[in-house]
Homo-oligomer: A and B are copies of this chain.
């Protein structure tokens, strides 16, 4: 059994990790930390875990993680990098669901996250945890920077097009919509039910932190300059992420050719579902599962539109992290990740 620790277990990403790992056939949960709920049983904070686990939340201290084989960080920026060096030295693998190990460019990191990177040497060894684009490196990784939720949808949508040199990379637009759980479990007025329900809005249109991550990764797929216009919006729903991505085509592709490009790119991918032409993904059809569903549209000859749906807490966070762990331990990639979405 893989001995696992979760740091930051009482947030939404943490509790989703907990749900996945508590049922994972090769995992033994050893430690789960939460500053807020130190000493409290998981099942007291989340009674959905009554009769499922006896673990209590603890605080993060020097020794608590030492018996783990792998530690997941579901924490705000800065925590993972403060712990990673000593964990790696003790031969403990790390998957950070935050941003500490996503960006190789530390100056960009420091500009966007307003914090100095404390272990740039370790960062060089970090692997970006998007299996569909980076599977081989993940398998032998010691430390993973797990992708952001928006970046996952955008990279999966654009990678086949960039590889085929099919679109004008200077004119891409990603109009993205996220459920509220993506904002985390924070006591903030803007996240109250009475502020969110029956309300829709854009936010962070200039300079969202996910942009440099997307650019840095996409650059590996093309030599061309990438200029991404990214507009995130908040949808009054708990889970789900929907990205509507617009790209001008460089050549005169038929829609079938484009569909083939995507079908071929993802034909062996267990978690990427290229839907038939004319389909419309809906977030409910990936809710609670690690699947990402996408479809192509051509409302205007000059452009391709890609519609992408995923559960922001699964393929956009905790599910993807477990997928990486499976790869790192040479398990079947889908182990513990084959939930059927809950409908309705």
Query: Which residues of A approach B to under 8 Å, CB–CB?
Result: 12, 15-16, 19, 22-23, 46-52, 170-171, 173, 175, 177, 179-181, 185-189, 191-203, 205-207, 227, 229-231, 233, 235-240, 242, 244, 246, 248, 273, 275, 279-289, 291, 293, 297-300, 302-303, 305, 307, 309, 338, 340-344
Contacts and interface: CB of A to CB of B under 8 A. Distances in A.
B198 A237 contact: yes
B227 A233 contact: no
Contact of A48 (B188, B197, B343): B343
A248 to B, nearest CB: 8
List the 4 shortest-distance A-B pairs measured between CB atoms, nearest first.
A48-B341, A201-B282, A194-B344, A193-B196
B196 A177 contact: no
Nearest to A19: B340
Given A46-B285, A52-B340, A175-B244, A192 B194 contact: no
B273 A240 contact: no
A229 B46 CA distance: 28
Contact of A201 (B175, B195, B283): B283
Contacts of A240: 198-200
B285 A288 contact: no
A168 to B, nearest CB: 11
A192 B8 CA distance: 18
Contacts of A189: 185, 187
Given A171-B171, A198-B287, A200-B240, 8 more contacts: A52-B340, A180-B194, A194-B344, A198-B240, A199-B283, A201-B242, A202-B280, A231-B299
A293 B47 contact: yes
A286 B342 CA distance: 13
Given A22-B340, A240-B198, A305-B231, A48 B283 contact: no
A344 B238 contact: yes
Contacts of A227: 300, 302
Nearest to A276: B44
A113 B6 CA distance: 40
A142 to B, nearest CB: 29
24 contacts: A12-B194, A15-B343, A47-B282, A48-B286, A48-B289, A52-B340, A171-B302, A177-B177, A180-B194, A181-B344, A185-B189, A185-B344, A187-B188, A194-B344, A198-B240, A198-B284, A198-B287, A199-B282, A200-B240, A205-B280, A205-B297, A205-B305, A206-B299, A233-B242
A193 B205 contact: no
A206 B342 CA distance: 29
A52 B275 CA distance: 14
